[in-house]
Structure 1
Amino acid sequence: MIAVEKHGIILSPSHHNFESLAVLNPGIFQDGDTVHLFYRAVESGNYSTIGYAKTEGPVKIIDREERPLIIRDFEYEKHGVEDPRIVKIEGLYYMTYTAYNGVNAMGALAVSKDLRHFEKKGIITPSVNYKQYKHFVQSCEKSKLNPKYHHYYNLFDKIGLIEDEERLLRDKDVVLFPRKINGKFAMLHRIWPGIQIVYFEHWDELTPAFWEDYLMHLDQHIVLDPKHYFEANYIGAGCPPIETDCGWLLIYHGVEETPTGKIYHASAALFHIDKPELEISRLSTPLFSPTKEWEKVGIVDHVVFPTGTALFGKELYIYYGAADKHVAVVSLNIDELLHELKQQP
C-alpha cells in the first residue's frame, strides 16, 4: 500500500478577472527548491489563459502574477489555452497545451528560452475531421483497436455531424518526454479512449501526410488503453514522464463511469526506458482519488487531474486540478511507488 499525503489546496480563484472562476491543471517545472506553476486560469464564460506562480519548496507560494502569462492570440485558441505541461529539452522549454476554439480541442505548442516569453508554434496534433478519421482508422485491423476508437465517428454519423468538416478530431493531454529518445522527440497524446506515442526528429515532420499514415496504423502507436474499473471510460497522460532506474514513470488519469456520473482518478504506470511504447506495469487500483470535499465538489465534481510533478529527495509531489476549480498537491515516496509497480503482474 502506497502512503499518499494530501497537502490540500495551494491555489484558488482570485478577485482578478482572468482567474475569477477557476484555477487548475498546472504545468510544473522544478528548478532546485523553486517550483514554477503554469496553471490554467478560467474567467467568466469559461475562457482560459495561463497564469503563473512559483513556490519556495514544494507548496509555499511566494509569487503569483496578477495578469495572465499566456493569453488567447489565435483563432484556433479563441476560447482557451488550457492544461499546459512543460519540459526542458536541450536548453529550450517546451510547453504543450490544449487549444480550444469553442468546438475543437487540439494539442498546441509554445517554446521559451527563459520561462517568461513564449513563442507559439501552432497546432501539433492531427487536423482531420471525423469523416477523414473514420477512413484512416478503418484501415487498422478492428481486432487490434478498442471499439471505443470508433465511437465518436459512429455517434456523429448517427446524429448527422459526420459531414461537418469543421469538427476536428479531439486530441488532448499532449505531453513530451523530458529528453530525446534515440535522437527523437517522444510525445504522448490522447485520441479517445487511450494514450498513444509519436516519435519525430523535427517539428516540421508533423505534416498532414505524416498524420494520415500515423492514423492508418493507429493500433501500432497505442501505449495504454483502458483496462481497470477506475479507467474504464478513458485515460489520458497526466504529468511528463519521470526517468528512473526502473523505467519511465508516468502519472496519468483514468475516468470511471458510475451510475451517478464520471469520477477522475490518478494512477501510475511504468514504461521501458529505451522503448517507452512498451508498458512494463501499471497499478491495478488508483494512486489517489477524490475523497476531500474540494475534490468532490467544484466546477466539475469528483475530479483529481494530475499534470505535473516535483521531486524533493525521495518525496514525489504531484500537482493536480481538484474538481476543476483549485490547484492541489499530494506527495508520496517514489521508491514505494516504484516497488509497488514492480510487484504488478
Structure 2
Amino acid sequence: MRHPLRPIEGTPLHTTFLNRQALHLRPDPARVIVRPFKPATEPRDLNPTDKTRANHIVERVLNLDAEEAARQLADVLENFAGRHRNLLETFELRADEMEQALAAHCRFTSVQRQLIGAYFMNEYSFEASALFNPSIVSHPDQSGTPAGSLRFILSLRAVGEGHVSSLTFRTGTIASDGSIDVEPTVRLASSPQIRHLVPGPIGDEVELAFRPDHDISERVIFPVTASQSHGIEDARFVEFTDGGRKTYYATYTAYQGTAIRSELIETGDFISFRMSPLHGTAARNKGMALFPRRIDGKFAMIARQDNENLYLVYSDDLYRWEGGQVLLKPQFPWEFVQIGNCGSPIELEEGWLLLTHGVGPVRKYSIGAALLDKCDPSKVLARSSEPLLRPEPSEREGYVPNVVYTCGAIAHNDRIILPYAVSDTYSHFATMKVSALLQAMS
C-alpha cells in the first residue's frame, strides 16, 4: 500500500510539483458568431393565421419598394463585412425557416429573402464572459512536429450573453522541455452544419460538421438540442483506443435551464461530431469521465452521482451507465464539502493517475490526485492529502472567486501538462514532473 501523497522535505506540496507557465487564455468579446433571432415566439410554434411580431417584421420588409430593400441589404452587408463567412448564404437559410413558419402564401424575392434573414439573425459574442474549464488531448495530426514535441488540441468552455456555454477549441505544441505554445485564434468564428438530427425518448442525437478548410480555432459548437439549450458545459475529452482504432470522446453536461444530464460527444478528426444522450442512473449528474481504454472488456467511467463522492462505473454499452461503486469520499479538510474528477484518468506505468477537485472552506476549489491500480481501478494505491494546485493570490478574483479547475490533463515525456481554469474566468497552464509526483507517492 502506498502512502498518501506528501511534500518532499517539508516543502508545501503545491509549490513542489507545479511549474506555472507564463501563458494565459482570456475571453475575447470580439469573437462572434451569428445565431437565429427569435422575437416573442419560436417560429416552429407559430400558427400561420396568427399575427405575431415575426409576421409584422416580415410584412414591413415586404412593404419596402425594391430599391429601398436593396439599399437596406447593401447597408447590412457593408456594416458586417469581414465579421462572418458567407453572410448572404446564412441569411438565405434563415429566410427558408421564416418562409416555412410564417405564411405559406408569402414568397420572397432574392433581396427580400436575404434582408428578412438578416432581421432574424443576431451576433453572439460566445466568449464575452469567460473562457475556462479546459481539457487537452493529442492532435490527430502530428505531421511536422519536432522530435520530442507533441501537438495538442485544447477544448474550452466559452460563456457569453445570458450565461450560455458553448464549446470552442485551440491548438498548440508541448516542446521537449515541457514549455507550451498555444497558436493564436483566427479572426472569424463559425457554427457547424447540422447534418442529422434524430429525436429520441430521452434526448436527440445530432451529427454536426464543420468545413475542413476552417481553422480549428474558428469552430464553435453552440447548443443545438432542447436538453442543451442553456449550455454545453465542461467537456472532458479523452483519446480512446479500442482495437487499434482511436476515437476522441468527451462527456459533457447538457444544461436545459432547470435540469442537467450527462451526454457524449465523439469525433475522429474534430471536423465531424456526433452528440448523444447518455442513459442510466449513473448518467443523471455531471462530472463523468471516461477511461481511455476498456478494462477487462468493459467501458469504465469515473462519475459522481450524489454530488459528494466519486464512483467507479462499468458498462458493456458506451451509452448506458448504471449503478457503480464508491471509489473516493471526502477525507481531507480541503475537500470536506465534495470531491469530483478533473478529467479522464491518465495511464502511467505505475497505475491510473486520477486528478480530482475538492471543495473546502468558503467554497474554495483545489486540485488533488489519486493513483488507482492499473488492472483493478477500484483499488486506490495513493491519494493526495494536500492539494497539488490551489488558487494563488493572483488567481482568486473572477466570476467565481477562489476556484481552480480542469477538465483534463495529459502526460507527455516525463511531465503532466495541466491546463486549468481560474475563477471561472480564464485559463492557465502548469506542468508537473511525473517522477517527483511518483516519488512522493511511493
Per the TM alignment, residue 323 of structure 1 is displaced from its structure 2 partner at its CA by: 0.5
- Which one-letter code corresponds to 2:252 in the other structure? Y
Aligned residue in 2 for 1:95:
250
Distance 2:266 2:437 in 1: 32
Where do residues 72-111 of structure 1 align in structure 2 (5 Å cutoff)?
Answer: 72-89=223-240, 90=242, 91-111=246-266
Distance 2:346 2:282 in 1: 29
The alignment status of 1:46 with 2:46, answered yes or no, reads no
For the pair shown, the structure with the greater C-alpha radius of gyration is 2
Distance 1:331 1:124 in 2: 36
Where do residues 246-285 of structure 1 align in structure 2 (5 Å cutoff)?
Answer: 246-256=350-360, 258=361, 261-285=362-386
Aligned residue in 2 for 1:126:
281
Distance 1:72 1:310 in 2: 27
Per the TM alignment, residue 276 of structure 1 is displaced from its structure 2 partner at its CA by: 0.5
Aligned residue in 2 for 1:64:
185
The alignment status of 1:22 with 2:130, answered yes or no, reads yes
Of 193, 203, 210, 2:308 maps to 193
Q: Per residue, is there more strand in 1 or in 2?
A: 1
The alignment status of 1:10 with 2:10, answered yes or no, reads no
Paired residue total: 286
Q: CA RMSD in A?
A: 1.8
- Secondary structure of the residue aligned to 1:335 is helix
Gaps of 5+ in 1: 129-168
Of 242, 249, 272, 1:117 maps to 272
Q: Using a 3 Å threshold, how does the CA distance of structure 1 residues 267 and 8 change in structure 2: closer, same or farther?
A: farther
Contact 1:185 / 1:200 at 8 angstroms: preserved in 2? yes
Aligned residue in 1 for 2:333:
229
Aligned residue in 1 for 2:437:
337
- TM-score when normalising by structure 1: 0.78
Contact 2:233 / 2:254 at 8 angstroms: preserved in 1? yes
- TM-score when normalising by structure 2: 0.62
Gaps of 5+ in 2: 1-6, 8-15, 32-124, 143-149, 191-218
For 1:86-106, what per-residue CA distance to the aligned partner results, in whole angstroms no more than 9, with x for missing partners?
A: 112222211111111112222
Once the two structures are overlaid, the 10-residue window that deviates more, 98-107 or 26-35, is 26-35
Distance 1:3 1:22 in 2: 27
Per the TM alignment, residue 72 of structure 1 is displaced from its structure 2 partner at its CA by: 0.3
Q: Using a 3 Å threshold, how does the CA distance of structure 1 residues 227 and 340 change in structure 2: closer, same or farther?
A: same
Per the TM alignment, residue 312 of structure 1 is displaced from its structure 2 partner at its CA by: 3.3
Percent identity between the two aligned chains: 28
Contact 1:23 / 1:39 at 8 angstroms: preserved in 2? yes
- Which one-letter code corresponds to 1:6 in the other structure? R
The alignment status of 1:175 with 2:289, answered yes or no, reads yes
Per the TM alignment, residue 127 of structure 1 is displaced from its structure 2 partner at its CA by: 8.4
Per the TM alignment, residue 180 of structure 1 is displaced from its structure 2 partner at its CA by: 0.7
Distance 1:125 1:87 in 2: 21
- Which one-letter code corresponds to 2:313 in the other structure? V
Per the TM alignment, residue 8 of structure 1 is displaced from its structure 2 partner at its CA by: 4.6
